[in-house]
Amino acid sequence: MAQYSRIEVASVMKNTGMIPLFFSNDLELSKQVLKACYDGGARLMEFTARGDFSHEVFGELTKYAIKELPGMIMGVGSVTDSASASLYLSLGANFIVTPVLREDIAIVCNRRKVLWSAGCGTLTEIAKAEELGCEIVKLFPGDIYGPQFVKGVKGPQPWTSIMPTGGVDPSRENLKGWFDAGVTCVGMGSKLISKEILINKDFNSLKIKVKEALKIINEVR
């Protein structure tokens, strides 16, 4: 069961401004990545469940976070159906992120008052997601749409909260562009948790990158 309500999760998303995205079938590696992000100041992690037995890794990773990393909010991304959403909710997911708009996932999450973020690419999809109770809409893939799309949406719908993922990197120029456009938070995967960091197991560098990215976000918005 989720430890945090959707309102609590949305508040942390807004306050920190960034969600690291990561997936590995290696539990010990995942723990080290999670701790580095936590030590750098991140308080959310989207585990992008894209591999076989990923639910087993997520369950153990969540237990680790509860025991060792107080205040770390664990969620799951790349969820494509309500059965998968229910499975991850039973393993302690505090939020669910989808690549597309799925009403069945909205129903499952809303029933349990868990935040879900739908992947949207048009104003119509965004409006539909909000009608279904979506607090923060995922703009995916972010690099296809860009900050100008966010500005366009915020014109007629200033109440809309947007989280771009894909095409977001920890540079000041990139982050300033997104937050100037009006995003609520950003999701960052390989641009933050790079292959080089994982291969070299350079978790101290990851901690520093996370800390610097959060500092930039705090300064530019």
- Per-residue DSSP letters for 9-36? HHHHHHHH-EEEEE--S-HHHHHHHHHH
3-class secondary-structure state, position 197? helix
Rounded distance, CA 160 to CA 183, Å? 9
pLDDT tens digits along 55-111: 999 999 999 999 999 999 999 999 999 999 999 999 999 999 999 999 999 999 999
Residue 219's alpha-carbon distances to 20, 101, 172, in angstroms, are: 19, 32, 9
Q: State the pLDDT at residue 65.
A: 98
Q: State the pLDDT at residue 167.
A: 86
Q: CB neighbours of 184 closer than 8 A, spacing ≥ 6?
A: 13, 14, 17, 136, 161, 162, 163
Mean pLDDT of 15-21: 98
Choose the CATH number for 6-215 among 3.20.20.70, 1.20.120.10, 1.20.1270.360, 3.40.50.150: 3.20.20.70
Q: What are phi and psi of 53, to 5 degrees?
A: 60, 20
Q: Which amino acid is at 221?
A: R
Q: Name the pLDDT band for 51 (thresholds 50, 70, 90).
A: confident
Describe the crossing of helices 54-68 and 82-90 by its angle, rounded to 10 degrees. 40
User: In the predicted model, is pLDDT for residue 1 greater than 90?
Assistant: no
User: In the predicted model, is pLDDT for residue 173 greater than 90?
Assistant: yes
Helix residue ranges per DSSP H, the chain = 6-16, 27-39, 54-68, 82-90, 103-111, 123-131, 142-154, 172-181, 195-200, 203-220
Q: What DSSP designation does 165 have? A: B
**Cα-only R_g, the chain:** 16
User: In the predicted model, is pLDDT for residue 12 greater than 90?
Assistant: yes
User: In the predicted model, is pLDDT for residue 155 greater than 90?
Assistant: yes
